[in-house]
Amino acid sequence: MRRWPRDSVPPERRTGERYGARPSGTAPPGIGPSAAAARGAGKEPSGPIPGAQGDFRSSPGPIAGKSGIRYFFLGEHVEPVLVFGASRGIGLELARHLREQGVRVVAMVRAESSIEHLKEVGVEVVRGDALEPRDVAAAFDALGPGGHVVSTLGGSLHQGPVVDFEGNVHVIDEAARREVGRFVFVTSIGCGEMMPFMYDRIRAILGKIVEAKTRAEEHLVRTSLAWTIVRPGGLRSEPATGRGILSEDPEIHGFIHRADVALLVARILRDPATVGRKFAAIDSAFAKCVNPIEPFPLAE
């Protein structure tokens, strides 16, 4: 599969399945023209999707066609997702959410990490270490051709920033060698152009980790992958609020629940307008900025 930098993608490729979008009025696989036209007019189709298991009108979840491919009712093809860093935090929340939506999820997890919560929801687990390129390649083998990739990899303060840079670079490089769809990289608020606006006390604690994540971001941007970078604010481990927003303002800061970041990432995977963009992810109720806050209009 040929890849282009986002700015040089031919128009016909931007409306193709490579970026998850289609010309207005055209039907995705398994959906007839009348259904597509009705959806384009903001209406529900009057009947079930041909060959699908279940009625289009009956449930807000995904459905499976005869081929086994699953579709969201938004008309987007739901490809499998490979998650790095899924044993805890945002990665675990994302894996759970995607499985609730019927999406096939593969996760690479270190040998010493618990996989009980992943197995409970049907995630396919591959044991491995992101610092070992062969392990990373094995995870991509398990995913198979196509699919999307999400990395939430990061080390703890006592581990240092090795995984934040080297581990993520191994994942990025392997993705660049494969036929993957989207690549969503979850880093941290304060990375990249946000660094000058970090609080000094935060910089003193997380400076080296943020610098390592920034270098990994820069490595990703130099590839021709269809990437999106997400930089969550201060993280809290509480249930999702639904208030998560994305902002491209480098001066924004605040808090957000890990579960809300996961919900945003899932929506990013379905929204081609997010390709080639860098976002801060913040709870709108806790967002602070010297500039007017203008959330990115992320597709539902």
Residue 154 predicted with pLDDT over 80: yes
Q: For the CA atoms of the chain, what is the radius of gyration?
A: 19
Residues 84 and 145 both lie in one domain: yes
Mean pLDDT of the chain: 78
Beta bridge partners of 82: 106, 149
pLDDT reported for residue 156: 62
The total number of structural domains in the chain stands at 2
Same domain membership, residue 233 and residue 126: yes
Q: Flag whether 178 is in a domain.
A: yes
Q: Of 75, 96, 120, which marks where a domain is finished?
A: 75
Together in a domain, 32 and 168 = no
Clarify whether residues 43 and 129 are in a common domain: no
Per the structure, the complete domain to which residue 42 belongs is given by 21-75
136 & 194 share domain: yes
Same domain, 40 and 148: no
pLDDT in tens, 233-274: 999 999 999 999 999 999 999 999 999 999 999 999 999 999
pLDDT of amino acid 61? 35
256 plus 274 within the same structural domain:
yes
CATH number, domain containing residue 82: 3.40.50.720
Lowest mean pLDDT segment, chosen from 161-165, 209-213, 221-225: 161-165
Domain assignment of residue 12, yes or no:
no
User: Looking at per-residue confidence, does 108 or 70 come out higher?
Assistant: 108
**Among 75, 95, 119, where does a domain finish?**
75
Mean predicted confidence (pLDDT) in 187-215: 85
Same domain, 69 and 207: no
Q: Do residues 246 and 124 share a domain?
A: yes
Q: Residue 137 carries which side chain, given as an amino acid letter?
A: A
Helices (H), 178-300: 200-221, 258-269
Q: Tell me if the pTM is above 0.85.
A: no
179 and 35 in a single domain? The answer is: no
Domain-located, residue 176 = yes
**Is 181 or 160 the better-scoring residue by pLDDT?**
181
Residue 122 belongs to a domain: yes
The reply to whether 87 falls in a domain is yes
DSSP assignment of 5-45 equals: -GGG--HHHHTSGGGT---TTPPPTT--HHHHHHHHTT---
Band the pLDDT of 77: cuts 50, 70, 90.
Answer: low
Residue 206 placed within a domain: yes
Least confident of 6-20, 109-123, 178-192: 6-20
Same domain (yes/no): 32, 114: no
Note whether 35 and 109 are same-domain residues. no
Please compute the mean of the pLDDT values over residues 267-289 and round it to a whole number: 97
Q: Which residues lie closer than 8 Å to 68 by C-beta, 6 or more apart?
A: none
Within-domain flag for 160? yes
Residue 100 CB neighbours (<10 A):
12
The verdict on residue 295 lying in a domain is no
For 289, the token pair is 């900025």
